[in-house]
Structure 1
C-alpha cells in the first residue's frame, strides 16, 4: 500500500513520482452521481471507469481537495477503486464531492461525485399563523405580499405553488406567486371581490404550499385577515319623520321625543351626533336636542294661539374626519290645554270626622262622602272618579256622578289588618286630562270580638308545704288580639273552699300567683285553682285556665298516742308471750 498524502503534499508527491521513471502521465475525468438519502454502503462507482482505454490498475493513491469531506462521507477501496457511501448523504448539506485518484503507472483520475436531490423536504412557512389588515373597499386586484414558504430541496422538488384550502368565503381573495432571483417562490394575496366590513369583518384563510414531488409534500398556515373600517356608511334614522303632540303648558326642560339613528361603521366612524339644523328650522330655539342621545326637549314655553305646529329638521352625522350626514323631520303639534283640574271634597262619616271605620261595619255601610266639580266647561267638565287600594274591601258608588260614596264592600277584621291605604282620583275628559287626587289612611276601629286566651290551659307547679305566706308560686299569661281597652287583661282566682283556692292570691295585672296562708299537705296535697282572665271591653270577654299545685310533704308533725292513759288487767297464769295491750299513734 502506498502512502496517503493529502493536499499540496500529495501533488508534490505525484509530480516526483511522474518524474522518476514514468514516461507519459495522463489526467482523466470521472463524473458520478448518487441520490441523497441512500443507505451507507451504497456503491457510487468504480475509479477504473475513468482510466483511459487500455490502462488498468488495481492500486490507487487517493487525495481529496481541501474541505470536500471525502474521507468522512465516502468509503473508497484504494485497491479495487470501488467508491461507496460511508454514511447517508444529504444534498442540502453537501451536493458535491471532488478528489484525485493516481495509479502507480502515473495515470490520474479526477473524480467528481454529484449528490442528486430527492423530495425529502416539505415547503415550510416562516409562521404557522399570521395576521393581515386590509381596509374595506380596497380595489379589486390590490396585492399584499406574504411570507413565502421555503423548501430546502432543489427544483422541481422545491416550492411550486400555493392554494387557499378553506376560509375564502365569497372567493374574496386569490393567491399569485412569482419565482424570485433567489429561486424562492414569492407569494401575494390578491383582492378578488369587494370587501365590506359591515357584511364581514374578518376572514380566516388556510393557505397551503406544495412542492413538485410525486407525491408532492405540503404544509399549511393560517392567515387571519381583518377588514378595517372606513367611513362608507352614513347614519340611518329608524324613521324618516317623527310626530309629537304636546300641550302648550308643557314646562321647559320636558322631554318631547327621542330620535334614533345607527351607523354601520365602527369606532369614531360609527359614533352618531345629533343636532337641529337652525338654518332650516326652529330659529327661535324653542327646542334643543341632546347630541348623544337624540332626546328632544322643550327649551322655552309654547303658545298655542301663536303657533300650533313646529317643524324641525334634525341631522345625524358621524364623527369621522369627513362626516356623513343624514336628515329626518320632526313635527311637533301644540294642543290647547285643559288648565283647570277637578276639585274634590271628602267628608268622613265617623263620629269625629276622621278616616276610620269600625271593624264590625257591615257591607254597604258608608265610610266617606265625596263631592267633585270642575271649573272647566264642555267635555273638560265631565269628571270620572275612581277608587284605588283597600284590597277589595271597599267600593265606590254614585247616582249622579257628582256625589260619590265610599262604602264597605266586604267584612273587615282589625286583627287581620288595622289600616288601608286608599286613593281617590278625579279625572276630567280633557286632552291631556287633568286630575285631582286624595290619598288617606283609613283606620279600622277595634271592637271587642276576641276573648283573652291563656298561653296554656293547664299550669302545674310543685312547692313545699312549709313556704311562708307571700311566696311565689308561678305566673300565668294571657293575650288578647284586640287593642286598647278591649285588649287590656286582668287576672283573678275563682275561689272554691273545696279546692283550698283561698290559700292563694293572684296579681290582677301581672298574673303572678303567691300564697296568702299556710299550706298543709295533710289537709290537701293537691290544691287546684281556676284562674280567670278578663278583658276591658264592654261587655267584657273572659276565659279560664287550671293551675294544679303539687305540695311536697315535710316532717312537720310529731307522733301522738291516741290516749294519755291505758288501764289493762292480765291473769296471773297467762303464758309468756301473751299480748295484753296494743297502743297506736294517731
Structure 2
C-alpha cells in the first residue's frame, strides 16, 4: 500500500482527526478491537446520512487489505480487522495507512489517511535464546567478550533501553555505546577460570524496553571452559567383581567399566582397552568396547575348563601428552547344569548262571558329572521290576547285582538300562545299556509234544517200516537241550518190546522189527524216554499205544457140522415127511478177523434142487423151503458158501449131503457112524464135540430156567430180569468189568471191547437184555485164539430198544474150554449212551428172532 511515514510523529493514546490540504487524517493506536470507531467520515466529508446510501459511499484501502469499513447508518469509519503496526510498518517511526473514499452521482474521490500509533505490545528479543561462549581455562582476567544485541519491534520509548546480567563472581557486564545511538553489551572476565572445578557457567542476560508497563527479554549465556590436558582418567572402581553364568550367549554384555577424566575434549576423551599383558585365552573369550568400556562375551564360557578370569583394563585420554589409568576386572564363571552324567563300566559284565542267588555281582559301575555342587551329584538307578539292582559302594561307585530269580528260558539276555540323574535344576540324565548274558543250567527236562500217542498200524506190514515219530523239546540250551530217544524195556506177550520195535535215538522215529498179526497181537504199549545230555541229565517218558488194525487175511472156518472139519462133505438126514421151514442143520463158521472182516453171510452156491432148501443169510440155518414130495430125490447135496464182509472178500464152502428117510431121524447115531468111517481119531474128536455140545446145552437150559424163575420173582418190584452178581459168582472177576450202552439207531450194530489177560484160554460173558423185548435169541461166537484181549460184543437188530448191556469177562482155568452165558435185564434209560469203535478184537454177533440157545465148545450158538 501507499503508506506515509513521518519519523517525528509521536503516537497518541486516543483517536484524533486533522484536516488540511483537501484530505482528512485520523490517528488510532494499533490493536483496536473490530468495530471500534475511527471517526465520523460522513460529517468530515460534508455528506448527509442519506447521501451515504444514495450516492453509494465506499472505502478502498491502498494497502490491499480492507482494514476499515463505513457504517452506512451512522456514516462512521470503523475498524474492520486487526491492525498490527509492526506488521504494516516494521521499525518505521511513522506508520500511516492511506484510504480512498469514492462517492457516486456525481463521482467524487476523497483521500483519507489513518495513522497507526505504536503501543508497547512487543518485548525485547535476542536473536537466539542461548549464547554459546568458549573460554579457555588459561584466559587471563579482564578479557571482554561482546554479546548479542536484543531487538524490539516497538519503536520510540517502547524499544530497548538497557541490559542486566545475572550475578556471578567470575563475570560482569559492561555497556558499550556505538554509532547510531545503539548500546552493545560486553561480558568481562573478572577472575581466572579452572575447568576442573567448574567447566561451564550459565549466565542470564536481560534486555529491558522503555514502555509502560516495562517489557523485557532474556538470553542464556552458556560459557564452556576450554580444557588443557592436566588430568589422567580415573576409574570408578579399582577392582570390579562380577559373576557370569557359563551358559551366557555370545555377544552378551558382561560388564561396563567407566573411567573419568576431569579434562575436556580430547584431553578428557577416554579410550578403553585390555592391558598389554592380557593372555590370549582371555582375549578369545572377552572383548571391550573402546568407546563405552563395555565388556562383551565373544567366546564360550566353560566352568569346567576355567572357573574365573582376571583382566587388566586400561583407559587412555587423547590429550597431549596422553595420560592413562588402570583397573582390574575379576570375572567368576557360575556353574550351570550343562553336563549330563557319565556312566563308566569299571568292569565288563559277567555271564550269570540262571540259578545264581540274589546279590551275585554282575559288573562294577561308576557315575560322574563334570558339574559342581548339586549339579555334580549323581544318582544311578535301574528300571523297576528288573531282576538286577545297584548296590552303592563308595564315591559314586556301584555294583550291579542280581535281585531275583533268573530264568534263561524266558530271557537269555537282559538289556539292563542304567539311568544316571544329577541333582541340578533342571536335572539332566543319561542312560546306558548293559547287556547281561544268562548262562543255561539243566533245569528243564525234555517235554514230549503230547503225553501219549496212539498209533494205528495195519497188520502184515513190511518189517523195518516206520511206525511213528515222537518228538520232544527241551527249553534248555546247548548240551542241556540235546535229546536222545530210547525205548524202556517192557514185555509184550512175555517178549521184550525191543524185539518188536526199535527207535532212532536222534530223531525219535520208531520202526517195526517184523510184521504184526492182528489175530495174535492187537495192541501193545511202548514207553519212550527222551533224555537230555545235561549234567545231571533229565528225562521224561511218553507212552505210545500201538493198535494193530485188522486186515481181511482169514477166510471163514466152518466148525459145524463137525464132519465138515474133516473134509468138505457133511452128511445130514431128514425125514421125508418134513414140512416147509423144517430145520435140517445149521452151518456155523468163525472168522479169525474182526469187525467187518468177521461179519459172515451164508448162501446156497449150488444145490441138487434149489427149490427145496434155503439157508439163512446170517444164522446159517438150513431149512426146507417147501414140503418134501415123493418126487424129490432121496439124496440131496447143497454147496453152501460162507463169505466175510472184508476187503477183499474171503470165503469158504461146505458141501452138505442130505439123505431123506421115511423112518425116524437119529442124527446123533448117524453122526457117530459117519464119524467112525474116516478113522478112530476122527471118531474121538466127533465124540468129544457131541459130548461138549450136549453138556453145554444142558447147562444153558438150566441157566435160562434159573434166570426165568428169578425174573418172575423180581418183576413186580424192579421190572428187570438180570441175574445178580452172586448168581454167577463162579464167573465173576471184579477187575474186569465193562459196562456199555448200545444205541440201536441202524439196521446193524456192533461194538468192540479190548481186554483180558494175555494168556487167557477162554472168556465168559454176562449179558443183560430187556425183559420187555420179544427177542431173546442171540449168538456169541468165540474163536479158539488164546489172545489177551476182551471179546468184541456185537450187533443188535434195529428193532431192539436202547438197553443197558453189562458184560462181565472173567478168566477161567486154562483147561476149561466151555463158556457159560448168563442172561439178565436192567433197562436204565438214564445211563449215557456211547459206541465203541468198529475196530475190534474178537467178533461177536447177535441176531434176534429165535428162542433157543446152544453151548458148543465155549461158543453159544443156535
Q: TM-score, normalised by structure 2?
A: 0.30
Q: Highest Rg: 1 or 2?
A: 2
Q: TM-score, normalised by structure 1?
A: 0.43
Structure with more of its chain in helix, by fraction: 2
